[in-house]
């Protein structure tokens, strides 16, 4: 329907793109990013893409603003180069936590991102675990959202989990843990945090549920600086948990996150490879394990191209 | 900036509109809804609205589809009648629970509603407690979302609450209870429901937190058929609660809801008057108390017209 | 060009959809409409439609507002389910008589309908005999309008028509009768109605032309409550017609229409099956004859899919 | 609301614009049209229009294509010159007879005109007697349509009309005559034309109604080449009319129209001054009388600016 | 991908279209342009174009406004006739010199043209040598711009050029001459003109560079009235050039251009056949030589259809 | 018309914003930029902007991508905070040199920037000296472009210029020098560079015009790394110039530019303060002189707000 598949990679996570291409048995498309002295970028697509079914892969990874603009510029270049269809493959969606107007006069920036991507010329989006499922509604173009929970649970279930309790570090983020607790058939506990003044930092007040003598398995959709995770871990241990593990779809690990996790009592952290595990961020990554979602993305790209169901891939 | 304020009411909740106009000291605008034998509707605006700052009030109330189309037709009529600005005042937003694609090949209908309202010609929306705050991001026009929690908590706090526990009937809906628990300084408990097969009805499995000997104050954003509420009440009582009360922003009370609540052990239900408390639905409404949000809406309309802050009205 | 044909039916006229599918030799697509207690609807497309050439069939039939919203929601679901192309098949177009601003501050609702259908995501529309041909111009997407006159005239011509006069019940609706009078080679007569005050009910004043001793064949594009038709029949009989028959493309037959026609001196009424002939409306339908347009629609769907001329189908 | 009124005139009918400005007591805005050797045009607005409420007047008059492009270019120039609001005043709307797709693969060009005018940047349109009222629905911006019938009937009623019959020259155009017949309280007659092959020239077949010994008052919305009018006049005289007069809103009088009317048995033709009565078209204009609609347009411009009702101006 | 190629020609340059079709080995599509007495046009596409890959060819040629509207109407007709894709082939783009706002309150009409073409429904544009390369950015649809310099230089290089100097007639237009000077390996000279008052006619002040005893080869993108060219020629001769030749992509030759060139000392003028060489403009065309770009356009149409690179065609 | 003026500054050049506010006699609006650990940004507008006429000031300055996204996010926040009008004040426009498709499959990124700014919600743009005047046509919203040449020439004319020659460093960039040469009444010279292979670095081949014994005044619209300027200076000196000076509107001075200029034979460089003169870039700025355009911007903001002519400000 849409010509041949062509896969191009932005500069955010080329290893991820290469693995997808291996799964697809396709070469990665040739393109070039030039950065001028004045920091303007030039994206040069170096092969013909007319009437091709193009997938451009770019998770939101530091430098974040450069990555977003590189994506928009590339999509614009592909559109005017007459690609038949452009799917923006964004494993980790930028600004997905800016998804609501929780104080006056702020931008719902995840929505702005959707608008910018549509304006640049994307025809579809393929992504993984948006911070809130409503973000899919920010787009007027079709969005396929893959879900990592089956893969993560499959990996978690390879070791005995009988003493585990699934823990959410905030009531506001608790909605996701049912997905894990149901699959693993585990009880849940939730840290009840309160914000006592507007926009003040929330303070853990109570652990709703029981972790005494249990292994707390803290679940979140992403781990950024690790601050929330480490506080939750300490809170659980103080409430009697005998161990703490963590799982999250997106391992951002910004700033000193890896160092802090290495030095913490957390035993292990499971994530996907939606983001590069940057050695540059320093710290040891020994406790971090990544489950690859590249095969899942490759199958989704094939399904989008062939017109078969994407939903069935992650059920 | 936008001419004089003119307030028009759809047929969904004229009493609500009248109260707002009383607060504003303005007459309600004249309009007429004609239903033809073939069920097509004709909306006739019966006074000049050129260059006026028009507010059209229509919560989503049965008959729901008629109400939505009446709203779209009225907005279209106002636009082509040269209103300077049209604000759709939608105290209870239609399809707000259809806010995500939680199974394949369904519509995010809340987003579709936003698109239809923009297409019809609304310049702004004023609403109350959307099911999810992300729905605000479904609009490209400015949306003011009022929050009823301060008014509801103020009313709740008029009686002693020392033995109360704020209860969420589902982890997925738990995010809102922090808003109430913080204001009332109460502990929380959450019913852990699980879905064991796709789209099967979720089953309550565990009460996370403790309600033994306490009054369970079940909080939700809306009460429709009352099924969820009654199950939650029974679950709390079975786990030792000594009494159950409920509070919700939107009292939909569809079908036999009022009868079921009257016959249930629930002591009281507090809602706002965002929707008419239809005697037609049968059953006694003795246990239902409504806090009026009409003064809040009137002040918001003034603020929108005058260009003063809306956020400060409900802080 | 657009994948395989898939035909889905809304709940307005499933029999019509089934007949079309029989003509096409295709199974009807699986979908499900759920009505929640609060009257919100959920449309679930139950089979993969990615890259398919989807036709969704829904004439405007009571309950009209529900039918319109069901159509918009289904189109939105299909679009986000990645259908390659969506053609809204609307044999009887909603609000087609609200096609002009004949008084101040009303909506041209047929235009609004066109806008809403485009917003929801339809790529094309296939319809039958719009009330005014200009309505086709309300769309920015391609519209194929089929014409029933050839089929209706073919059926009428099966009995001798030598004493027939084609009659229009209003000058304002007279433009269509030439289409019938020319094909059947019959003379015409027109009832001259006048509106003596704004928007007052028009009063028949004069029969322009002659029906004395003739059979008046009253032609209209639709019959709703039947009031206009019955007045026209009485007027013709009072001016000397010896019999009255009627033909109209769309048999809406709302309210007591069927009963009134059964009790009237009208001998027969010919329509198409663009709308279900609801037994629920009571009254006998013995005088009503329906010519099926389903084969015509099936051929049009094939032509749209194959890229052959639609115009030639009804010439 | 929209700054001061500024009125600019295109080159189509400057006298019309001047008369409107006289009624308004305003000077005509300064602008200049330069035609380059290669026929490209340059429109130079020669005074500041920032934040002004601009009305640009241009009926569709020969050279028609130049006039349309001049209008689009001027609107674009005004928009980018930061006019607060731009109302395109188009007394005779271009391509208003191309309002339907009456054969395959043609453009509904009146709709295209609406789209082009919106694209260029007009915020509103003010026009007079569109060929079909549905054309108003081709716009997404507000359109005020003035009606000339009251002024024309007022003028007609200044002489005795007791022996007059209002005649439509085609069933397809008959819908407008009710407006005149009701106001003047006259009977009607309609020429029944038939098209015996596709797109062939229609042939008058029958006069429905009676004009014997009467004065036929032929009504149409416009007179272009005069061919239709002259044929209708001959047909009426052949059916026994003792005299023929005519009235039409728009006097296009293209080609040899004025000469043919001068040489015809038609006694008089009444039109408005929506178009210039070009002496250049040759022929005597002695039989033509123009009723000015410039005062009506001036009052409509004031009403649009002041936000008072336009509808009341022509009732 | 887009059905079969169908090529239609507007009335601007049918010979150009015919030559392209010969190169493609395809018949020219059947269409008809009717001009009504009132100067409105009707475009009738006389063959089925559903799902076809349609190319419509229309350079901007006198009568310019008629040609632009004919193009817009045809595109609209093709779109609503369900063409799969419409490429507007515009060898000489209208209003390409109105590409900037070089004085206040004027239209950037080249941009308006882009907007109008998109509004009418074109999916792509194929053109030749835009006056400024930035004009390509005025479009949101893909634009392929062919470049005539290789063909023109190839022809020029067939005669010895050793004494030639490439001359630009204005600094503002000098940017293009590098393209020619580099390919032909010739020195350059530039006429330095100055505008001493706003928008006054620029006056040649100085010849930067040296043409003494040389043949001045004046390069421009188009020759309209020839005034600029003749002045430049005189200026070069006055500065010692021994001969003058000229080359330009687009030979507009408006008004008395051909006569003036015939009477001038210019030895020869080389252009492409992007525009018809109208004998109607009078004057001898003996000095004019046209290099055909029709084969280049035919190859570009094939490349667009087949999805192969267009850029490589003119490198 | 648009409420009170409120001026907000992005983080690119706060000093520039402060100076504008001083000229306007207005306080700078309060806003806050928060950078999260994961590099996402939050813009918080800290005062009510409803119905205000907001100007947001952000030239494109390093870090460029962050600055662009900060601008888009701020505009989005202002729009949803109900600002009456938002003018993006962008003294140095990002990606203005990416204004054409000079090789295949690249983005016209200046056009993309225009699209993104419109999508985010800006109503107008105010800028200074775009790289090409056509860029103004990339916008559908009104753009006011200020010109610095009058101010720069005024400053240059304060010292004797009798031996100066205005020099363009490339034919492709020569169009701007006429503006300076005319105002200063100086002769011109142009460096003729050639590109001998695709996209290779151009090589200076010839100096068209004469600088022997003169002071070369090299003019450009911006100085980035300084490479082009330094090569032009060396070329002029090698062709006999006795001194070199430079003037450019935008002083980007990226990388080692200031150091290289300090070490070069160039005597002085005149620019505006459209960009901060970053000491962080190292090197001495002794040779750099900045003419402030802040008063010009302040007057333009007032004119936009008051609806007076902007063009007159810089004539």
Cβ–Cβ gap C188/D196 under 8 Å: no
Nearest chain F CA: its distance from B126 CA (Å): 12
pLDDT tens digits, residue range C93-137? 999 999 999 899 999 999 999 999 999 999 999 999 999 999 999
CA dist., res. A21 & res. B207, Å (int): 47
Nearest chain D CA: its distance from C73 CA (Å): 23
Q: Assign 3-class secondary structure to B174-231.
A: HHHHHHHHHHHCCCEEEEEEECCCCCCCCEEEEEECCCCCCEEEEEEEEECCCHHHHH
Residue E255 scores a pLDDT above 80: yes
3 state DSSP class of B12 = coil
Looking at the DSSP assignment, which residues form a beta bridge with residue C89? C57, C126
Model confidence band, residue A279 (pLDDT cutoffs 50, 70, 90) = low
pLDDT tens digits, residue range C152-195? 999 999 999 999 999 999 988 888 898 899 999 999 999 998 87
Residue F107 scores a pLDDT above 60: yes
- C303: contact with E, CB 8 A cutoff: yes
Mean pLDDT taken over chain B: 94
CA dist., res. D113 & res. D117, Å (int): 6
Q: Is the peptide bond before A63 cis (omega within 30 degrees of 0)?
A: yes
Cβ–Cβ gap A39/F46 under 8 Å: no
- B300: contact with D, CB 8 A cutoff: no
pLDDT tens digits, residue range C240-299? 999 999 999 999 999 889 999 999 999 999 999 999 987 655 567 889 999 999 999 999
Which chains sit next to A, with 3 or more Cβ pairs under 8 A?
B, C, E, F
Q: How many CA atoms does the CB half-sphere of A300 hold within 13 Å?
A: 29
Cβ–Cβ gap F82/B309 under 8 Å: no
DSSP calls for chain D: ----EEEEE-SS-HHHHHHHHHHHT-PBPPEEEEE-TTS-EEEEE-S--TT-EEEEE----SSHHHHHHHHHHHHHHHHHTT-SEEEEEESS-TTTT--S--STT---HHHHHHHHHHHHT-SEEEEE--SSGGGGGG-SS-EEEE--HHHHHHHHTTS--TTEEEEES-GGGGGGHHHHHHHHT--EEEEEEE--STTPPPEEEEEES--TTSEEEEEEEEESSSHHHHHHHHHHHHTT-SEEEEEEEEE---TTHHHHHHHSS---EEEESSS---GGG-S--TTEEEE--HHHHHHHHHHHHHT--SGGGG-
Cβ–Cβ gap C190/D194 under 8 Å: no
Which of A107, A119, A225, A226 is the best mutation test for F, with the most CBs of F within 10 A? Answer: A107
Cβ–Cβ gap E182/F195 under 8 Å: yes
Model confidence band, residue A195 (pLDDT cutoffs 50, 70, 90) = confident
Report pLDDT for D51.
95
Whole-number Cα distances in Å, B275 to B9, B94, B290, D202, F100: 13, 12, 10, 60, 56
Report pLDDT for C176.
83
Q: Which chain D residues are Cβ-neighbours of C203 within 8 angstroms?
A: none
pLDDT tens digits, residue range B94-121? 999 999 998 999 999 999 999 999 999 9
Cβ–Cβ gap C84/A303 under 8 Å: no
Mean pLDDT taken over chain E: 94
Which of D45, D51, D77 is the best mutation test for F, with the most CBs of F within 10 A? Answer: D51
Within 8 A by CB and 6+ apart from B288, the residues are B251, B253, B258, B261, B268, B269, B271, B277
Report pLDDT for F198.
61
Considering only alpha carbons, which residue of chain F is nearest residue B140? F80
Report pLDDT for B174.
84
3 state DSSP class of C101 = coil
Looking up tokens 């030095």, which residue turns up? A263
- D102: contact with E, CB 8 A cutoff: no
ipTM attached to this prediction: 0.95
Mean pLDDT taken over chain A: 94
Report pLDDT for E283.
61
pLDDT tens digits, residue range B214-232? 999 999 999 999 999 999 9
Considering only alpha carbons, which residue of chain B is nearest residue A98? B134
Which chains sit next to B, with 3 or more Cβ pairs under 8 A?
A, C, D, F
Whole-number Cα distances in Å, B295 to A150, A305, B248, B313: 49, 54, 18, 10
- B81: contact with D, CB 8 A cutoff: yes
Work out the average pLDDT over B155-184.
92
- A1: contact with C, CB 8 A cutoff: yes
Which chains sit next to C, with 3 or more Cβ pairs under 8 A?
A, B, D, E
Report pLDDT for A158.
97
DSSP strand pairing (F215-223 vs F243-251): parallel
Does E contact D via 3+ CB–CB distances below 8 Å?
yes
Q: Do residues F29 and F18 make contact, with C-beta atoms less than 8 angstroms apart?
A: no
Looking at the DSSP assignment, which residues form a beta bridge with residue C167? C189, C218
Looking up tokens 């907001």, which residue turns up? F54
Model confidence band, residue C38 (pLDDT cutoffs 50, 70, 90) = confident
Looking up tokens 């310099």, which residue turns up? E149
Residue E284 scores a pLDDT above 80: no
Whole-number Cα distances in Å, F134 to D33, E35, E97, E101, F131: 22, 36, 10, 8, 9
Cβ–Cβ gap B143/F52 under 8 Å: no
> Number of Cβ pairs closer than 8 Å across A and C?
26
Residues of A taking part in catalysis: 193
Q: Residue E234: left (phi > 0), alpha (psi -120 to 50), or beta? A: alpha
| Interfacial B residues in 19-78 facing D (CB < 8 Å) | 48, 50-52
- A97: contact with F, CB 8 A cutoff: yes
Considering only alpha carbons, which residue of chain F is nearest residue D76? F140
Mean pLDDT taken over chain D: 94
For the entire predicted model, the pTM comes to: 0.97
Cβ–Cβ gap A39/F225 under 8 Å: no
Nearest chain C CA: its distance from A171 CA (Å): 28
Cβ–Cβ gap B50/D309 under 8 Å: yes
CA dist., res. B215 & res. B268, Å (int): 11
Model confidence band, residue E38 (pLDDT cutoffs 50, 70, 90) = confident
Residue D136 in tokens: 């108003």
Nearest chain B CA: its distance from D167 CA (Å): 33
Q: Do residues C135 and C110 make contact, with C-beta atoms less than 8 angstroms apart?
A: yes
Nearest chain A CA: its distance from E88 CA (Å): 15
More confident residue, E137 or E200: E137
Cβ–Cβ gap B100/A133 under 8 Å: yes
CA dist., res. A29 & res. A21, Å (int): 9
Report pLDDT for B9.
98
Work out the average pLDDT over C9-20.
98
Q: What are phi and psi of E135, to 5 degrees?
A: -60, -30
- E82: contact with D, CB 8 A cutoff: no
Q: Which chain B residues are Cβ-neighbours of A193 within 8 angstroms?
A: 178
- C133: contact with D, CB 8 A cutoff: yes
Q: Residue A307: left (phi > 0), alpha (psi -120 to 50), or beta? A: left
CA dist., res. D64 & res. D108, Å (int): 17
Report pLDDT for E171.
87
For chain A, the straight-line distance linking the first and the last C-alpha, in angstroms and rounded, comes to: 26
Nearest chain F CA: its distance from A253 CA (Å): 8
- D171: contact with C, CB 8 A cutoff: yes
Residue F281 scores a pLDDT above 80: no
CA dist., res. E208 & res. E190, Å (int): 5
For chain E, the straight-line distance linking the first and the last C-alpha, in angstroms and rounded, comes to: 26
Q: Give the alpha-carbon dihedral of E289, E294, E299, E301, to 10 degrees.
A: 140
């Amino acid at each position: 329907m849409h010509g041949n598949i062509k896969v191009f990679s932005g500069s955010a996570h080329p290893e991820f793109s290469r693995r997808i291409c291996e799964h697809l048995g396709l070469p990665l498309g040739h393109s070039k990013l030039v950065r001028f002295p004045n920091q303007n970028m030039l994206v040069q697509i170096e092969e013909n893409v007319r009437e091709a079914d193009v997938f451009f892969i770019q998770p939101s990874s530091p430098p974040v603003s450069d990555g977003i603009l590189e994506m928009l510029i590339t999509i614009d270049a592909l559109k005017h180069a007459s690609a038949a269809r452009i799917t923006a493959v964004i494993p980790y969606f930028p600004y997905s936590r800016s998804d609501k107007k929780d104080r006056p006069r702020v931008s719902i920036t995840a929505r702005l991102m959707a608008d910018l991507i549509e304006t640049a010329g994307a025809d579809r989006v393929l992504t993984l675990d948006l911070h809130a499922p409503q973000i899919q509604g920010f787009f007027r173009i079709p969005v396929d959202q893959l879900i990592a929970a089956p893969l993560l649970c499959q990996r978690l279930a390879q070791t005995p989990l009988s003493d585990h309790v699934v823990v959410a570090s905030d009531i506001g983020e608790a909605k996701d843990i049912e997905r894990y607790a149901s699959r693993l058939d585990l009880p849940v506990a939730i840290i009840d945090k309160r914000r006592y003044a507007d926009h003040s930092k929330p303070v853990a007040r109570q652990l709703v549920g029981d972790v005494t003598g249990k292994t707390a398995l803290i679940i979140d959709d992403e781990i950024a600086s690790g601050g929330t995770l480490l506080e939750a871990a300490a809170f659980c241990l103080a409430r009697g948990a005998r161990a703490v593990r963590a799982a999250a779809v997106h391992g951002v690990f910004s700033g000193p996150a890896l160092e802090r996790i290495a030095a913490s009592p957390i035993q292990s952290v499971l994530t996907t490879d939606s983001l590069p595990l940057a050695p540059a961020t320093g710290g040891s990554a020994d406790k971090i394990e990544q489950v690859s979602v590249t095969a899942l993305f490759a199958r989704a790209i094939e399904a989008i191209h062939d017109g078969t169901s994407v939903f069935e891939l992650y059920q």
